[in-house]
Amino acid sequence: MRLILADDAVLLREGLARLLQDAGHEVTAAVGDADALMAAVAEHRPDVAVIDVRMPPSHTDEGLRAALEIRERWPGVGVLVLSQYVEQTSAAKLLAGPSEGLGYLLKDRVSEVAEFLDALERIGAGGTVFDPDVVRRLLARAPLNTLSERERAVLGHLAAGMVNTAIAERLHISQSTVEKHVNAIFDKLGLAHTPGYSRRVLAILRYLNG
């Protein structure tokens, strides 16, 4: 895949670039701020942009705001937010759009290189990958009393990009039980099929909006 990296920590950025190149990917640009990121995406149109949340000049949410703009201007470019932080407001806005080719992982929870490379491949192929801890932090802002404890667990795994069979294995329940929980989640939140949007992501947003 053709990739762009955006992280203001030069050692991490260059180390990640080397790792990805060794894995057979082409890193077309590695930049340290949001303006350089936007210019690089406009020039190279990568398969995926890997973006940190906090970058110059204010080190708040420049990366996430750039990710939102990339999703709007170049919807064919996948976005993987890779950060130590969950910036809730901008993260919720990012989740509001189509979920194809989108991910959010926490740096300190990526324990295996293979796990990271797999997530990148899934996003490049149009998939969705969210760290369950990101989901939990976002959901913590919302009233969850309409869902059971098990339904909340299933929703967390759905938003992390897991399929029903994987959720069943993780929670030690049958696949049909997972399917019942998923349908219950959508029913309780009143989510119908909407072309171009993921009901999984819409469920999270419904939580965030109270």
**Fold topology of 132-210:** Arc Repressor Mutant, subunit A (1.10.10)
Q: What was the pLDDT predicted at 120?
A: 94
User: Which pair of tokens denotes residue 201?
Assistant: 């992501």
Distance CA 135, CA 24 (A): 30
Give the closest residue to 49 by CA, choosing from 95, 12, 94, 80. 80
Q: What percent of the chain has pLDDT over 70?
A: 81
Distance CA 69, CA 149 (A): 35
pTM beyond cutoff 0.85: no
- Domain range list for the chain: 1-130, 132-210
Residues of the chain with pLDDT below 70 are: 88-89, 92, 96, 135-145, 189-198, 200, 202, 204-210
The H or E element spanning position 201 is: helix 199-208
Distance CA 40, CA 69 (A): 13
Q: What is the CATH number of domain 1-130?
A: 3.40.50.2300
Tell me the per-residue pLDDT of 97-114, one tens digit each, with 9 for 90 and over. Answer: 777 899 999 988 887 899
Q: How many residues does the chain have?
A: 210
Tell me the per-residue pLDDT of 114-151, one tens digit each, with 9 for 90 and over. Answer: 989 999 999 999 988 888 777 666 655 554 567 888 98
Helix axes 88-96, 132-139, angle to 10 degrees: 110
